[in-house]
Amino acid sequence: MANVAVIGAQWGDEGKGKVVDWLASRADVVVRFQGGHNAGHTLVVGGETYKLSLLPSGLVRGKLGLIGNGVVVDPEALLAEIARVQAQGLKVSPETLRVSESATLILPFHPALDKAREAARGDGKIGTTGRGIGPAYEDRVARRAIRVADLAEPETMSHKLEELLRHYNTLLRELGADTFAKDAMMAHLLALAPKILPFAEPIWERMDTLRKEGKRILFEGAQAVMLDVDHGTYPFVTSSNTVAANAAAGSGTGPWAVGFVLGIAKAYTTRVGSGPFPSELHDDIGKLLGERGHEFGTVTGRPRRCGWFDAAMVRQAVKIGGIQGLVLTKIDVLDGLKELKICTGYRINGEAFRHLPAGMAAQAAAVPEYETVEGWEGSCRGARSWADLPAQAVKYVRRIEELVEAPITLVSTSPERDDTIMVRDPFEG
């Protein structure tokens, strides 16, 4: 049995939470390897809805959850999320959740700077969640970050805080925002330490043990390929590498351990925040997709921008992300539409492109080229086999498969985990 890495193949919000939950029944452990609490996964299990941001989705299925070194962790957000799911009946303890001792911490001055920067950008804002993800990753790269392991070393924290506050208070003052006092921040960290440290361990060592024991590992990605800091629609991206290649580095294991790479894509396209979106719809159909799909960001609550399926973009994500199989979600949202459109490429200043180029101006100028396909009568909702789908819906799936140049492995037909058509078990490799 192979390990599996689940990543988004669009701009996030593709329904990864349900897919990870569905796959978790076959896995022994679920690992988060990048991002922070700017990602949101919604799981519907037995009528209960769980909204997770930091916690690995497998915890809902009683699986061991690991938060890798590639994740930036807001300790207050983590503790609040644990308390929330515990109130819903989940058991979360140091026996079921482990956090890398090397993970970078998000502290109160990170979101403060994040929000101040966005406000200063005005109309040119990136559309961040304001949760301090970017500044925390900046600190990691600049080698000044306070990490989980530092919570056990007050002298280390004190030294690092001096450097951090010189940096942040200078920027915050320049942006007209409130500054932070060292004594208050130190007291804050000392109070958090006994609550966070029981979860801490060298995750790389745990990963090695799991490998030796032959355990099945599910790597849970956040955001999506087109939000990758290197490969996405820069600068309208997240601050980490979201591709499956980062699953190894972000959890402390070898690249061979990543296994089968499963990409998740909606049967249409959505995006939260700013940035290019060639197939976006500003008409009644775009509004209909948003209403039917309940398209609001799990973390931000912001309405998602909606548009037709962009096969050119997903094909690009397949190649960059090393995606070996694709999951198509929310196909039921398209029920009853007389005709559908699929973006197959772009025109940019009169030139044809089969991909989104790296330049900002070129991305902004991209005009979609569409292929029109027939819609279907009847409903896909709740289908669990190809026979349950309208014939034209099957044709739509097959056409997408051809255009993105990747096989469709699973089709999700509702938020319920069992409303899934499996073509191939990803754990079989």
* Residue numbers annotated as active site: 13, 41
Residues 263, 322: Cα–Cα separation, whole Å: 9
Q: Residue length, the chain?
A: 429
Alpha helices in 176-267 (DSSP H): 182-196, 203-212, 246-249
Phi and psi, residue 68, nearest 5°? -80, 175
Helix axes 109-121, 154-174, angle to 10 degrees: 20
Q: Cα angle vertex 99, ends 98, 100, to 5°?
A: 125
Task: Record the tokens describing residue 218, joined without a space.
Answer: 């599910």
The identity of residue 291, as a single letter, is E
Residues 296, 265: Cα–Cα separation, whole Å: 16
Residues 311, 140: Cα–Cα separation, whole Å: 35
H helices, E strands: number in the chain: 12, 20
Residues 63, 388: Cα–Cα separation, whole Å: 31
The identity of residue 88, as a single letter, is Q
The identity of residue 142, as a single letter, is A
Residues 9, 314: Cα–Cα separation, whole Å: 6
Structure letter (DSSP) for residue 142: T
Contacts of 402 (CB under 8 A, 6+ apart): none
The identity of residue 181, as a single letter, is A
Contact by Cβ (8 Å): 218, 6: yes
Among 413, 406, 388, which Cα is nearest to 329's? 413
Cis peptide before 235 (omega within 30 of 0): yes
